[in-house]
Amino acid sequence: MKIKALFGGIVLAGSLLGPVAAFAQQEPEEIALANNEFEDNFYEALKQKGMENYDKAIASLQKCLNAEPDNAVVYHELGKNYFAQKNYFEAEKAYKKATEIDPKNRWYWQGLYDVYYEQKDFNRAITIVQKLMEWRKEYYQEDLVSLYMYTQQYDKALALINEMEQTVGMSEKREAYRLEILADSRYSKPKKETLEEAIKKDPKNEANYIDLIYLYSESNQEAKAEEVARRLEKEIPTSDWAQVSLFKFNLNNNDGEKASQNMMQILGSKKIDGKIKHRVLNEFLIYANNNPAYLPTLEKAVTYFGADRKVNVPKEVGKFFFNKKNYAEAIRYFEKGLAQQDDDSEGVELLLYTYAEGGQNDKMYKLATKYIDLYPTQPILYYYAGLAANRQQQYSKAKEWLESGQDFIVDDAALTTKFKQQLDIAKKAAGKI
């Protein structure tokens, strides 16, 4: 059947399982007709679902079930359509039936999980997630931690957080969960003594130190938190998490050298979540702005984020200096940001503005004219080309760029005024030459 090929290795239950004797008693044309009718109804259901005609899709799938009542794929499709209608009762029934027929198909369990999660039936969702972990343990562990939190099963959540810390490293989300748990009086008050005892018994268990650092920090006992972090560093010199705490302590103590060392180890760590690394960089950025001797260290730190495709870190650092009117540093980072993402229109405009403010007219002219070739309908590029040419006393060029660019201005009074000002300068100067 064609439908078998559509689902790769998934064989539609019932499509090839009819008794041989029964087939032997039918005319070949009758068998072909029955198969074609099933396929037609199934493909019609897919088409109607694609057009969000869920009632029609369900009607076609019911016809499929009349022909093959134990077909797990059809029940799975039924579940999808009922789910899209927010008919969770029927969706649950359909997904359950699919898992009963074929319990080894992860996607049938995923559908059931979606139903329970959407209804905030977190206790039943936990059971399904534990099943799903048979296929992708690390992926679904994250969900299980959240579900334990939603159902206030904090002991289980904390145990799983500690386990994941050892296997996959820490994340900002799980760190926040841990803090939420430890802030609960049932855990925080006796926990300090318990953790101290646990550290004495097993001084190489990193998780206990981290929990204790969080507890002391939450209760504003920074000196004790720092002392625990130093003990962790002494017992486990390779601990990256000790560096996170020590970084903060050293910054607060205005020890830039040690904070720099902490930061570099954090940024190079594979255990520490990217969001925490961003936070560390942001804190050091503020420190370096107030202590310019550490600007080269900041520049080195930014290189660790070169592979980050979600955030253009150099550009964001450039914005910080831009807002501080430190145009020399802003230019440095905007140039790096544009090298990292050369089709970033915001990055181009920021760099042009900063060149203008920093008086780097030659660079402004080259950048503006380069991007005019790429984006010939963007008036702001013509403005900066004209501005740079005027400043370099190339008034004919300025007039040419500005007159060409003003045709592309649409409903922007401020930019129109800027064009007029620069054109007036170019025309007056050109008339005197």
Give the tokens for residue 222: 């920074």
Answer yes or no: is 316 within a domain. yes
End-to-end CA distance of the chain: 83
Q: Is the pLDDT of residue 170 over 80?
A: no
Do 350 and 378 have their domain in common?
A: no
Q: How confident is the model at residue 269 (pLDDT cuts 50, 70, 90)?
A: confident
Residue 402 falls inside a structural domain? yes
Same domain, 369 and 423: yes
**What's the whole-number mean pLDDT along residues 321-335?**
93
pLDDT the model gives residue 290:
93
Residues 58, 88: one domain?
yes
Cα dihedral value 245, 248, 251, 255, nearest 10: -10
The answer as to whether 259 is a domain residue is no
Lowest mean per-residue pLDDT among 18-27, 76-85, 165-174: 18-27
Domain boundary among 75, 102, 129: 102
Q: Is the pLDDT of residue 31 over 50?
A: no
331 and 428 share a domain?
no
Residue 408 DSSP one-character state: G
Higher pLDDT residue, 3 or 398?
398
pLDDT in tens, 94-151: 999 999 999 998 899 999 999 999 988 898 999 889 888 888 877 888 889 889 989 8
Query: Domain containing 326: what range?
Result: 308-359
Note the pLDDT of residue 160: 85
Burial level of 200, CB count in 10 A (0-12/13-18/19+)? exposed
User: 402 and 341 in one domain?
Assistant: no
pLDDT > 70 fraction of the chain, expressed in percent and rounded = 89
Residue that the structure tokens 């493909």 belong to? 43
Q: The domain spanning residue 80 has which CATH number?
A: 1.25.40.10
Q: Based on the domain organization, do 346 and 396 belong to the same domain?
A: no
The SS3 call for residue 245 is: helix
Average of per-residue pLDDT across 378-402: 94
- The mean pLDDT value of the chain amounts to 84
How confident is the model at residue 185, as a pLDDT?
59
Q: Nearest Cα to 385, choosing from 405, 407, 357?
A: 405
Residue 282 lies in a domain: no
Residue pLDDT, tens place only, 185-199: 566 555 788 888 888
For the segment 422-431, the average pLDDT, to the nearest whole number, is: 88
Count of domains observed in the chain:
3
Q: What is the pLDDT of residues 285-316, one digit of tens each?
A: 999 999 999 999 999 999 988 887 788 999 99
| Helix-helix angle 154-167:185-201, to 10 degrees | 40
**Token representation of residue 139:** 């992926």
**pLDDT-based confidence at residue 154 (cuts at 50, 70, 90):** confident
Contact yes or no for 147/125 (Cβ under 8 A): yes
Query: Is 109 within 8 Å of 121 (Cβ atoms)?
Result: no
Q: Which of 120-129, 163-172, 351-360 has the lowest mean pLDDT?
A: 163-172
pTM of the model: 0.55
Pair 330, 403 in one domain: no
pLDDT at 7: 36
Residue 12 belongs to some domain of the structure: yes
96 and 11 part of one domain: yes
Q: Which CATH number does the domain housing residue 372 bear?
A: 1.25.40
